[in-house]
Structures are given as structure tokens and as C-alpha cells.
Structure 1
């Protein structure tokens, strides 16, 4: 009887251990790394660093979220790092649409759409046509009139060849038979610097990046590719209201490597949904000129696939780089 009693205790102890195991391993139990495929100080990096403390707040458990910058190849190095990370929920990252999609159209990168588990879109930074305040171009029509008379003569900066601002601008230029000289830079910051320094006549950049400088009187935003006017820049007209129906820009959201456990993905998605409703986060985003636009995981995934179809059609008609 004594031997049987010891066996029963051992079995009971093992049962308690098994029951306690999942509780001890409940996600998240350690720090999370958030990969950004761009340098510090750009729009995506600012968004990630604004988001991080709120992720910590809503994930709970004293978890820390660390932003890790992996710039290069128009964001592709960072996107690849997210796709190839261990799918345990402890490495996540920012995806930019269409920037992470365009390499799949141009060539064969080390990822595809199915390499990622979408968590939620957070910001939609509409591409905007911007000039210096001393520019001869007062309106979008001024710009169009001039480039019609001087095709290919106007240098226009963008943040990368085949990137969000460049391909958005093509969606305006190509159907209207307009031609400029595209001047790519390795990111939004150097493109903005070139415009301020007078090295290009205009630039295409996110309205969230342009609006603060416009408010300071350094830049003039001729038009934005938002669906409607942005409350933070109410005097800026949309391309659509000016007769050019296009909505485009850089959508910035959160994703994890495909294969992440459902529990981790659900907790991350729930946290992002709560963050988007948090007045403190909304105010922080407003101060950083981040145009918020939440898409839940399924809608975010659908947007990725829709954008791929749209960008593929543009590429098939008029490739933005030689191939």
C-alpha cells in the first residue's frame, strides 16, 4: 500500500506540472523584437517607436518591445528578416505596402505574401506631390501644364526606385501621358533634403512627412492621394477632387512570420485593435503626423493581395525599372 501511495503522489504531481506548463509559457513571457526595414528617423521607424510602448501596455506581463532597424534595398532586407525569423511571436515587424510587394513583381525575393502572418495595418501615409514654397508651381494644374510643355524636364525626387512614392506617382503620370525625370534616393529623409536644398524641382512623399514642413512654411503640398482631405492638413486638395481619381501611398502595418502560434497572433492582433482605440495613442500619432488607418488581420491580408494585383497590372503595362 505504501508503494501505491507514492506512485499516486508522483502521478498527481506530474498532472499538476502538466497543467501548470501552459500557464508558465503563456505568451508573451519575454521581450519582443520589432524589425523595421528602414533607417531611424523615417516615417516607418517613427511609427514603430510610437507603437512600441503601447504594445507593451496591452500585451501586459511587463513585456518589452525593442525596435531593430535593418535598412537596405528599399526595405527588402528588413522584410526578409521578418519572413525568415523564428515564428514564435517574439520577432515581428513592420510591413510597408506596396514596398514589400513590388520586389515580388520585379524579381524573386526570399519571401512572398504567404511568408507573413498579417496582424493589422496602422497607418496609411498618402503619397503627395510637394514643392518648395518659392516654387513657380502654385497648384497641381500649374505642375501638369508645365510638364506637358516640357516632357521629362522636371526632376522629381522619390524615396526609392519602385518604392511606394515612385509607383504611386506612376499611377498618376502613366494614364495621363505625363513624363518627368524620376530621381530616386535611399529613403524619404534624403529625398526631402534634396527638395529643401533645391536639387530637385518637386518630390513625392507621404503627407505625414510633408505636413509638418508645410506647416512651418518650408514646403507646399500641391495635392495628396488620400481618399479625402486629412484633418491635419485640411487645405491640401486630393488628386481625386482635382479630377485625377487615385488613392495611393504607403500603408504601414504589423506582421509576424508565417507559422506563428494562433495564441500569439491573436494576442498581438487584439493588442493592436485596442491601441488604435486608445486616445493616448491617437494623440501621440497626431503629434507625430501619423495618418491612422486600421485594418484588422483579414482586411489587411486582402489589401495585400489586392495591391499585388494592381501593381502587377502597372508593371505589365509599363515596368518601372528595366528587366
Structure 2
């Protein structure tokens, strides 16, 4: 009897030890506060996206840590991202939110870039779309009137020629619009404010910022939407954005204006940067040398978050009806999307120099 009691006690201790180990693995020494660096100003698409997601991260990451948004704008996201690369702690207390403005300079070998995506682990990628719109005093009521913009100078608040607006600037040129970018905006939110002040005649916002900050302008007749960039379906074809099904895509507007489909080097470059920058428009990164149990806990929490009916419902309203990418697929697809051939790089470098006197 005593022998059986000893075995029972030993089994209980072992089982209890296993439960304790499992519990530790579940909580994984997660810090009480997670600082989420957003290398853009308040009010832009990435900031809106992060502030929507942050409470859900708190809800679903074990121990329910407080997620604090840290805006660090500058250099079209390069400044804050460089700082994160240099200073981020690998204990789970630091994560980063990026945008196409962070991907494009890396793809193009911008000399100011000090970060390397190989040093980070992507936890989630959010695709997005975007909309181009103009001032209502230009006499344009929709994309059907785009010819009325011929010869009209259109100031445009931009972060820079290699930032989020890169494919948009290419679209403007292919449509023959006389767009005059004013570079140096700290975020797309700053570009929108320039539009609201009347300083810019044309603007572009990603889906989340458009839904939250521009749709009211449209309702109040202070902005006229022209077209969306569309989204890429599983076959790699650009189709209408489900968030804006009534808006034509850039390709549709191009065909309307010229009677043919867009083609050539510029369209090839446009398509490449659209795919890279918008299919992976928003990405959550964590230092790759963060303990694997913490990374696993964050990944598990994000997967649970994406199943939350309330999150699904709210995300459609807040950031658009897009499917987030998680797990191994994020790293694999991101690596493929950001590859750029030497030939395409050479063409883009020449285009940037001729168009904006910008040297890579």
C-alpha cells in the first residue's frame, strides 16, 4: 500500500511538473508591456491599422500584455525602422509595424536603409487596397471625366519617390496626368491633411485610412474618388477591390482612356511594386532571435484573434475585407514578393532619375 502511495505521489509530482512546464510554455515569460513601433505619423493607414489591432493582441496573447503604439515618423518610415533595427529588444517587448514604404527602399537598395528583414520574423501580413481621389472644384465627378484633368497641374503630397506612392506615381504618369509631387510628407496622413487644406489637388490613401478619414470627405462633397488600385486574386490578376466594388481599377480607367490594356516596362514595374507593397502592405515583425516560445505564443494569439467573429466583423469596417496571412507562408511569400530582377531594377533606377532626379 505504501509502495502504491509513493508511486501515486511521484506520478502526481511528475504530472504537476508537466502542467507547470506547459503553463510556463503557454505564458512564455511574456512581458507585461509590448511596445509596437509604427514608423509613421498618427492618422496614416499603418497607424490606423495598428491601433485597431492592438486591443485584440492584448486580448489574445497569453497574460494579456498592454500593447503601446510608439509612432516614430521620419524618412518615409526609414528613420523609425532603422531605430527599431538598432535598439529593439529580443525579449518579446518590441514589435514593428511596416508598410510598403518600408519594403520599397529595401528592395531598391536605398543607402539610408540600415535594416535587414532577415533579422526579423514576420508574425502577420495584412494586404490592402487604396483609392485615388481629387478635389471637387476640378469639374470631375468620376473617372469617366478623367480627360478633364488633361493639362491641369495636380500637386500631390508624397513621402518620397521610393515610398508607398511609387506604383501610384507610375499610374499617374501612365494616365498622362500632370501630377507634381511635393516630397517630404511624414506619412500618408500628412498628405491627406495637405489635400484637406487645399494644398494638394490629388491624393491617395490605403483602404483603412480612406475608410476612416476620406469617406466622410466624399459624403460631404469635399473629395471625388477616381479609381482604386484593385487587388490581386489567386490567379495573379488585378480585379476590383471588394472594399470599393463600385470604383473602377487603374487598369479599367487606362483602358477607358486609351482603348487598350496597359503594357511595357512601366506597367511591369507598376505591377511588381503593387504586388509587393500591397499584398504585404502591413506586416508585424518581431526580432528573429526572440525566444521561440514567445514567438509561438504570439503566433498562436494572432491566429486566435483572426478567428474572433468580432474582429472579423470590425476589420471589414476598419481595414477592409481582406484575408490576413500568418505562419510560415508570410516569410516565404514576403521573400518572393520583394525580389527584384537586375533588369527591372535598372529600369526603375533610370525612371526615378529622369522623372524626379532621384538616384538610388
TM-score bracket, normalised by the shorter chain, equals 0.7 to 0.9
Go from structure 1 to structure 2 and tell me whether the alpha carbon gap of 1:164 and 1:54 turns closer, same or farther (over 3 Å shift). same
TM, length-normalised to structure 1: 0.80
TM, length-normalised to structure 2: 0.72
Contact 2:44–2:190 (CA<8 Å) still a contact in 1? no
Contact 1:159–1:191 (CA<8 Å) still a contact in 2? yes
Go from structure 1 to structure 2 and tell me whether the alpha carbon gap of 1:31 and 1:198 turns closer, same or farther (over 3 Å shift). closer
Q: Which moved more, 1:177-186 or 1:273-282?
A: 177-186
Contact 2:61–2:302 (CA<8 Å) still a contact in 1? no
Contact 1:165–1:204 (CA<8 Å) still a contact in 2? no
| Counterpart for residue 3 of structure 1 | none
Contact 2:34–2:67 (CA<8 Å) still a contact in 1? yes
What is the DSSP-based 3-state SS (H/G/I as helix, E as strand, rest coil) of the residue aligned with 1:293? coil
**TM-superposed deviation, 1:75:** 1.2
- RMSD across aligned positions (CA): 3.2
| Counterpart for residue 118 of structure 2 | 114
Separation in structure 2 between the aligned mates of residue 36 and residue 21 of structure 1, nearest angstrom: 34
Deviations 1:26-50 (A, max 9, x none): 2424321111111222221121121
Equivalent of residue 233 in structure 1, options 237, 241, 244: 244
**TM-superposed deviation, 1:178:** 5.7
In the TM superposition, what are the counterparts of 1:3-18 in structure 2 within 5 Å? Answer: none
Point out where structure 1 has 5 or more consecutive residues left out of the alignment.
1-12
Contact 1:32–1:90 (CA<8 Å) still a contact in 2? yes
Point out where structure 2 has 5 or more consecutive residues left out of the alignment.
1-12, 232-238, 256-260, 263-269
Contact 2:243–2:320 (CA<8 Å) still a contact in 1? no
- Say which structure is richer in helix: 2
Go from structure 1 to structure 2 and tell me whether the alpha carbon gap of 1:223 and 1:175 turns closer, same or farther (over 3 Å shift). closer
| Counterpart for residue 224 of structure 1 | 228
Q: Which moved more, 1:36-45 or 1:138-147?
A: 138-147
2:201 maps to 1:201: yes
Separation in structure 1 between the aligned mates of residue 45 and residue 176 of structure 2, nearest angstrom: 31
Aligned residues: 304
| Counterpart for residue 297 of structure 2 | 267
Deviations 1:198-254 (A, max 9, x none): 222211222332342324432111001022334443321212333366663651121
